[in-house]
Amino acid sequence: MTQKTEVLYNGECPICSREVNHYARLSEKQALPIRYDDLTQSGKLADWGVTADQAAKRFHVRKDGEVISGIPAFVVLWRDIPQTRWLARIIGLPGVHWAACKLYDYILAPLLYAFHKRRQRRINP
């Protein structure tokens, strides 16, 4: 890995934060140049060029100056972490990639976003 990878995630989402914390531990153990930005921390979104709502809807990774979201973003991150490269290879296969993108785009991401909006309504009625 030659270029720094940056990850934008929703730290208020228990599922998202648990998964990203796992990746952060793996990358920290190997001193990989991966930065993890919680969208709920002030000042992080302006640097990414996305709104809080856009950031909460999808997982984002920036690599070589390009912001990538969804399953392609996961693949970029997985390629950078030695323990998850196998997953990047599997999800990168054409039919598997297509199915994973559809599952994420139409089921998982909307479901996680709906949970996020519900949490927000409970916190700020």
Instruction: Return the pLDDT at 52.
Output: 86
The Cα 81–Cα 117 span in angstroms is: 31
How does pLDDT run across 83-114, given as a tens digit for each residue?
A: 999 999 999 999 999 999 999 999 999 999 99
Mean of pLDDT values over 52-61: 91
User: Does position 69 have pLDDT exceeding 60, yes or no?
Assistant: yes
Q: Could you tell me the pLDDT band of residue 31, with boundaries at 50, 70 and 90?
A: very high
Instruction: Return the pLDDT at 42.
Output: 62
Q: Could you tell me the pLDDT band of residue 12, with boundaries at 50, 70 and 90?
A: confident
Token couple for 111: 């479901």
Is 104 within 8 Å of 70 (Cβ atoms)? yes
The Cα 62–Cα 41 span in angstroms is: 17
User: Does position 1 have pLDDT exceeding 50, yes or no?
Assistant: no
Instruction: Return the pLDDT at 67.
Output: 94
